[in-house]
C-alpha cells in the first residue's frame, strides 16, 4: 500500500504512480503531492496541506494517517481531494526551511526571491492547486485547510488564522473550525504571502491556517490533543458526523505587524513569551533603529513573535479582541 509520508521522506516515487480501490482513484503528481478523486460525482473540492514548514510534524502525522486509510480502501471519499506535503526537503532535514520561508512566497512573491528550492516549490504548489480546481465544476464548494504547528507555546493549544477576505465567511466553514477544536480565530485585514491567502484570493476558497500545538520532531507529538481535529478532518472527507463543538472560538483581528527591517531590530519580549500573551497600552514591543513599535490599543495580544526572521519579514503580529463577538459568547 502507498505510504505517502514514507515516500516523501525517502525522496522516492511510487510505482505505479496511480491506482484505485472501491471508492476512489489516486494519482501521484509530484514529490509530496497526491490527488484522490471519488468514483461518484461530487460538488466539493478540498485541499489539505501540511509540512509547509519542515519542522512542524504533528499535522503531517495526522494527515498521513487519514490518507493511508483512504488509499487502503477503509474509508469512502466524499470530495475531490488534493493532499500536499508542502516542503519535502525541509521535512527530511527537520528544519523550518532551508533558504527562505515558503509560507511567505505565494501569490507570485516567489518571483521576488533568489532562485532557490523554496521559490521553485511555491511555484509548483501554485501550479498544482490551480490545475486541481480548474478540473472541477465552477460551482464546486472549495475548502483549503493548511495544517501547521507554532514555533512557540500558546495560551491556546489549537487556533486558526484566517486570510483577508472581502466576502463573508461561510457559516458551515466556521462551524467546522469550531468542531475541529479550535479555541481562537485570528482574522487578517491585509494581504499576505501565505498559502491560504493565495487559495482564498485567487480561487475563492474558504481557507484557514490551523495551528496545532508546538513544533516537535516526528514521533514526539501527543496527537491526543488533536483528536477533535482528526475527527473533523475525517468527517469532511467521508461525509461522517462532526465531533460535538465545544465553546465557539474567541475571535481576534490583527491590529499591527512588527517587521524586521534592519539588523538593529530588537524584540522586547522573552523567547518564552507565549502566543496570545497580553500587553497593556503604551508598552514598547520592539525597536528597529529609530522605529519604535508600541501597544496602541488598550490591550493587544502577541502572535508569532520571532526576532530571527529575515530582513523585511514579519517578526510578530499584534492582535485585538473582537469584543462584539466575544462578549456575545458570555
β 250-260/313-321 pair status: antiparallel
The CB-side HSE value for 92 (13 A sphere, CA atoms) comes to: 12
- Kindly list the distances between the CA atom of residue 242 and the CA atoms of 43, 149, 232, in Å, as whole numbers in the listed order: 19, 22, 5
Sign of CA dihedral 27, 28, 30, 33: positive
Quote the distance between the C-alpha of residue 302 and its chain's center.
Answer: 19
For 285, how many CA atoms within 13 A lie in the half-sphere containing its CB? 30
Q: What would the grid cell of residue 127 be? A: 501550479
DSSP string, 35-78: EEEESS--SEEEEEEE-SSTT--HHHHHHHHHHHHHHTTSS---
- Using alpha carbons only, how large is the chain's radius of gyration in Å? 20
- Residue 174's φ and ψ, nearest 5 degrees, are -60, -40
Of 211, 264, 287, 290, which one is the catalytic site residue?
211
- Give the burial string for 262-282 (b: 16+ CB within 10 Å, else e): eeebebebeeebbbbbebeee
Query: Do the strands 158-162 and 278-280 form a parallel or antiparallel pair, or are they unpaired?
Result: unpaired
d(CA 114, CA 127): 19
d(CA 222, CA 227): 10
Q: Is 211 a catalytic residue?
A: yes
Where do we find the cell 528550492?
Answer: 117
- φ, ψ (nearest 5 deg) of residue 110: -60, -25
The catalytic residues are 211
Amino acid at each position: 500500500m502507498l505510504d505517502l509520508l514514507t515516500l516523501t521522506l525517502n525522496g522516492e516515487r511510487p510505482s505505479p504512480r496511480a491506482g484505485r480501490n472501491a471508492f476512489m482513484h489516486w494519482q501521484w503528481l509530484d514529490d509530496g503531492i497526491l490527488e484522490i478523486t471519488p468514483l461518484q460525482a461530487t460538488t466539493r473540492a478540498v485541499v489539505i496541506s501540511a509540512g509547509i514548514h519542515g519542522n512542524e510534524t504533528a499535522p503531517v502525522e495526522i494527515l498521513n494517517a487519514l490518507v493511508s486509510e483512504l488509499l487502503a480502501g477503509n474509508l469512502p471519499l466524499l470530495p475531490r481531494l488534493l493532499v500536499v506535503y508542502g516542503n519535502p526537503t525541509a521535512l527530511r532535514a527537520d528544519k523550518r526551511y532551508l533558504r527562505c520561508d515558503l509560507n511567505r512566497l505565494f501569490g507570485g512573491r516567489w518571483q521576488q526571491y533568489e532562485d532557490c528550492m523554496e521559490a521553485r516549490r511555491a511555484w509548483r504548489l501554485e501550479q498544482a492547486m490551480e490545475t486541481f480546481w480548474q478540473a472541477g465544476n465552477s460551482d464546486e464548494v472549495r475548502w483549503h485547510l493548511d495544517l501547521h504547528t507554532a514555533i512557540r507555546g500558546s495560551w491556546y493549544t489549537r487556533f486558526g488564522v484566517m486570510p483577508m477576505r472581502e466576502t463573508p465567511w461561510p457559516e458551515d466553514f466556521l462551524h467546522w473550525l469550531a468542531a475541529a477544536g479550535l479555541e481562537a480565530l485570528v482574522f487578517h485585514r491585509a494581504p499576505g504571502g501565505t498559502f491560504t491567502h493565495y487559495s482564498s484570493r485567487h480561487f475563492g476558497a474558504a481557507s484557514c491556517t490551523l495551528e496545532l500545538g508546538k513544533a516537535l520532531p516526528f514521533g514526539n507529538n501527543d496527537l491526543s490533543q488533536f483528536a477533535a481535529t482528526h475527527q473533523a478532518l475525517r468527517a469532511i472527507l467521508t461525509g461522517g458526523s462532526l465531533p460535538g463543538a465545544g465553546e465557539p472560538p474567541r475571535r481576534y483581528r490583527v491590529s499591527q505587524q512588527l517587521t524586521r527591517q534592519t539588523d538593529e531590530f530588537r524584540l522586547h519580549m522573552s523567547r518564552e513569551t507565549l502566543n496570545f500573551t497580553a500587553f497593556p497600552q503604551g508598552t514598547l514591543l520592539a525597536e528597529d533603529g529609530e522605529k519604535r513599535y508600541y501597544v496602541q490599543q488598550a490591550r493587544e495580544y502577541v502572535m508569532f513573535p520571532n526576532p530571527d526572521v529575515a530582513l523585511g519579514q514579519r517578526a510578530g503580529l499584534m492582535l485585538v479582541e473582537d469584543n462584539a463577538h466575544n462578549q456575545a459568547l458570555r
